[in-house]
């Protein structure tokens, strides 16, 4: 029986992908390197260490990940002001979870700094969710299942009692490996890349009732 809903952040609650990509590209440009938007695609949903570090590896760029990530976040914080919006159906979906007395968690591979900035930018209170797990809370990033196993444990429920809401291939695989059911949103990848999810929908606004009532 479903007891909890574990939501990824980027591509689920907010579409911050264009902004973090732009910030990372600007950071690399400051270092004197030109990278392409397509370079980041394989690392979507894997957290900023891998998102930035993977592109650096592709281009043979030696970096101090903590330094370049901090600079990327500095740029990101500037460019999201007044530009970030919640994705369709966020508030209504959270209300649907609350109406069913379901526990909720944000489980994101992003660092806490980005988590806090994103929620503030789209007007979601930190009190809207029961717990938060970010990329700095885990050793292994998606597609490893650790983040969802950790979220379930902190909520006091079993993974098989959890519904994960994801948008990325890495995240859907993490949910599957954790033993959770999964709704995949097609905000970042086409439906044919998300077929191991239990449900594939366009947005939180179109999640079927059956995904919240099993």
- Choosing from 10, 66, 74, 167, which is the catalytic residue? 10
Active site residue 66: no
> How far apart, in Å, are the Cα atoms of 99 and each of 94, 103, 166, 211?
9, 11, 21, 14
Other CB atoms within a 10 A radius of the CB of residue 190 amount to 8
Active site residue 111: no
Q: What token pair was written down for 77?
A: 């914080």
Q: What token pair was written down for 42?
A: 């394989």
> How far apart, in Å, are the Cα atoms of 158 and each of 5, 59, 131, 172?
12, 41, 15, 18
Q: List all residues 6 or more positions away from 25 whose beta carbon is below 8 Å from its beta carbon.
A: 35, 37
Catalytic residues: 8, 10
């Amino acid at each position: 029986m479903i007891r909890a809903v574990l939501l990824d952040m980027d591509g689920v609650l907010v579409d911050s992908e264009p902004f973090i990509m732009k910030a990372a590209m600007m950071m690399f440009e400051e270092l004197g390197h030109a990278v392409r938007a397509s370079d980041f695609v394989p690392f979507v949903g894997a957290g900023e260490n891998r998102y930035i570090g993977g592109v650096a590896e592709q281009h043979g760029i030696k970096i101090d990940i903590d330094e370049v990530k901090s600079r990327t976040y500095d740029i990101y914080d500037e460019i999201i002001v007044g530009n970030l919006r919640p994705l369709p159906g966020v508030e209504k979906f959270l209300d649907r979870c609350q109406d069913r007395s379901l526990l909720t968690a944000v489980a994101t591979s992003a660092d806490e700094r980005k988590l806090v900035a994103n929620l503030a930018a789209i007007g979601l209170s930190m009190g809207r969710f029961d717990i938060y797990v970010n990329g700095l809370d885990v050793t292994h990033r998606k597609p490893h299942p650790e983040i969802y196993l950790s979220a379930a444990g902190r909520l006091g429920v079993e993974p098989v009692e959890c519904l994960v809401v994801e948008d990325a291939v890495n995240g859907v695989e993490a949910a599957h490996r954790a033993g959770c059911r999964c709704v995949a949103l097609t905000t970042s990848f086409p439906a044919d890349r998300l077929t191991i999810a239990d449900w594939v929908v366009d947005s939180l606004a179109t999640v079927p009732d059956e995904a919240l009532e099993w």
